[in-house]
Chain A
Amino acid sequence: MNKRQFLKGLILFFPAGGLTGVLASPVRGKETSGADKGTEASGAKTTQPQSTGAYDPERHNYGMGIEIDKCIGCSRCVEACKAENNVPQEPFFFRTWIERYVITKDREVTVESINVKSRGTRELAQDDREILRSFFVPKLCNQCAHPPCVQVCPVGATFSTKDGVVLVDANRCIGCRYCVQACPYAARYLHPETKTADKCTFCYHRVVKGLLPACVEVCPTQARVFGDLKSKASRLVRLMRMNKIHVLKPSLNTDPKVYYAQLDGEVR
């Protein structure tokens, strides 16, 4: 972009800029006094009472645990996520999805995403005799402590919150999609309506109010465990105490905060 375009953009943006300035200043005042009130979009009402006392993001660090051996691949989580977060229904946009791994006796690994049924793909071989092992793996944004997407965003529209969640500012994302390229887990997609990058937020609007993320709420077998890593006794900390834990693609040094128990080495 050259200078001329920059100035042109400014001329368009100035009236709007002043307006946001006015809007943003009261927001700044409330920043410390409790983050659970929406100043904008007043149409949204919450069913939960305001959580007690001020919410201090510094005192939390959220993560998720996933017990592979408990996942039955029912996709309740995927549907709940799409409903809760306005994710388009088409099978190209997911904040979370389920993979099925089938490893046959000749060590051939077949993977499919059970939420994507394309007309072309054949049903997986269901001959039980040939299966060495098979299991489901839920996937979602790993909310990395060292996130490559945040590193590459040219305008700083994606960032880590103090409580350890990576968010996207949909008002400032320019749609360059460098973050989509940089994410090793393909957890990001371009939302076809907002035309901005979108991804799992751990249902930030729920967890700050004391609710569970939608996927964890509906999981029938408690294969998904949500919790606070800073808490001494959370279900997540308990899970990590009782299991050998693995994360996805540890060699990339992203420090994921989605922890898998009983994860198979074939899972990438």
Chain B
Amino acid sequence: MNPERIQDLFDLLGQVTGYIYPNEIEIHWSILVVVYPYVTGLVAGAFILASLVKVFKVKEVEPTYRLALLTALAFLLVAPLPLLLHLSQPMRSFEIFLTPNLTSAMAMFGFVYAWYLMAVLLLELWFEYRRDLVVLGKESTFPMSWIYRALSLFSTDVSDRAVAFDLKAIRMITIIGIPSAFLLHGYVGFIFGSVKANPWWSSVLMPIVFLMSAIVSGIALVVFLYMVLTSIRNQPIDMRCLDTIVSYLFYAVIVDFSLEALDFIHRLYQSEESVKILGTLITNKLFMSLFVLQILLGMIIPLGILVVARSRTFNDDMRKLLYFTSVILIQVGIFSTRWNVVIGGQLFSKSFRGLMAYKMEVMGIEGLLAALALLILPFVILTVFIRLLPTERMEDHVARTA
């Protein structure tokens, strides 16, 4: 271990209040482990928004369907990176496939991830884009035409019957996909919720709270991207679509808020052995990130904004502004939620007698810059996707002329 890190630990020792077990001074799950559930949540949320179109036939949301799927894929590709970088022996990560320990929630990660990526997201995207890929493969010039043809798996059939089959397949996949998306993120919640040694994590509600906050963050992200994308492209925003999505967002935030309130009240009312230290934890170390960022800025204010935006008649521009503000606040709030779970759960001693401190690295592999890079990376990937693939269904006449 480098002397600098040792010096940091000595400094942290001075910030300990009360008693902690001596091995607890090192915070093991750093900001990268905060990024991981945040990113996975965005995947699950974006996918569920996309599913609204296909399974629940919410036609208004159609304009964001492809964008939501591509967003889910871009973030899903990045999701394992924070985990990988966080390992202290990343070169051994393949062991998880060689000798998975079947009793370990974490060992299931590879399988849940592979299932969701291969059997749900890629498959649905392939069926959705197949016809367009065939068309694009014929229209484009050399290097690109081959890329499109390879992506379409050298498929050629663009008959109405084949396209109808695509739609049927998409519906089937989405029906399997919704529980899979629930599994993907509920599973992340389970990783924390099943740690009985840690009363801040150990809660049966954890997977459900993770899931609801995932839906909130995913929908908010797609709204954000849709608004940014249309303004870059100088296209008009489909306000009916936006209003509908935001109303779903509104209900999701309410459910999420209720669940978290339930969790909070339940803990307070049950008042178990850990209640005192958790009380000091949230009023002391987590005051800013829990009460100010997560609850006030990330929930109450956006909820208020949405109530106002929905209850009164504003013009389109005003509504856009209100929506845009609230989706950004919601992202801040959900990131704080992840922070409060992951870091918060490591700031109190399992002796329930003291609090530790976390000092985030800046430069290191588990530091702030790495985390920022991992949060920017999916947007870069998404840009490539959007350049490569149309976010709206190509017009039928284009297909015919080709």
- B interface majority secondary structure: helix
The residues in B between 61 and 96 inclusive whose CB is less than 8 angstroms from any CB of A are 77, 80, 83-84, 86-96
Which listed residue (B14, B29, B77, B117) contacts A118, Cβ 8 A? B14
Judging by beta carbons under 8 Å apart, are B198 and A181 in contact?
Answer: yes
User: In this assembly, does A120 line the interface, its C-beta being within 8 Å of a C-beta of chain B?
Assistant: yes
Using Cβ atoms and an 8 Å threshold, which residues of chain A touch B196? 148, 182, 184, 252
Asked if B89 contacts A173 (CB within 8 A), the reply is yes
A3 interfacial contact with B, CB 8 Å: yes
Most buried by B among A1, A6, A173, A190: A1
Asked whether, in the complex, the Cβ of B113 is within 8 Å of the Cβ of A192, the reply is no
Contact with A along B91-111 (1 / 0, CB 8 A): 111111111110111110110
**Known A113-B21, A152-B104: A177·B14 in contact at CB below 8 Å:** no
Residues in A neighbouring B95, C-beta threshold 8 A: 155, 157, 172, 174
- Complex-state Cα separation, A88 to B3, whole angstroms: 13
Interface string of A100-118 (1 = CB under 8 A from B): 0000000001111101101
Q: Which residues from chain B contact A12 at a C-beta distance below 8 Å?
A: 91
B22 near A5 (CB under 8 angstroms)? no
Q: Are B23 and A186 in contact (CB under 8 A)?
A: yes
Nearest A residue to B196 via CB reads: A252
- For residue A31, CB closer than 8 A to chain B, the reply is no
| Interface residue total, chain B, C-beta cutoff 8 A | 60
Closest B residue, CB atoms, query A114: B22
From residue A24, how far is it (CB to closest CB) to chain B in Å?
13
The CB with the most chain B CB atoms within 10 A, among A5, A97, A187, is that of A5
A139-180 interface with B by 8 A CB criterion: 139, 148, 150-157, 172-178, 180
B197 adjacent to A174 (CB under 8 Å): no
A163 CB to nearest chain B CB (Å): 21
Q: Does A224 contact B (CB under 8 A)?
A: no
Select one of B14, B92, B195, B350 contacting A172, CB under 8 A.
B92
Output the least CB separation between B354 and chain A (Å): 8
Given A93-B23, A155-B95, A156-B104, 20 new contacts (CB under 8 A): A2-B114, A92-B6, A113-B19, A116-B13, A119-B10, A119-B14, A120-B15, A148-B197, A152-B105, A155-B92, A155-B101, A156-B99, A156-B101, A174-B90, A175-B89, A175-B92, A178-B106, A178-B191, A252-B197, A268-B351
B residues neighboring A (CB under 8 Å)? 1, 5-6, 9-10, 13-16, 19, 21-26, 28-29, 77, 80, 83-84, 86-101, 103-107, 109-110, 113-114, 117, 191, 195-198, 345-346, 349-353
A residues with CB within 8 A of B: 1-3, 5-6, 9-10, 12-13, 88, 90-94, 97, 99, 109-113, 115-116, 118-121, 139, 148, 150-157, 172-178, 180-190, 192-193, 195-196, 252, 268
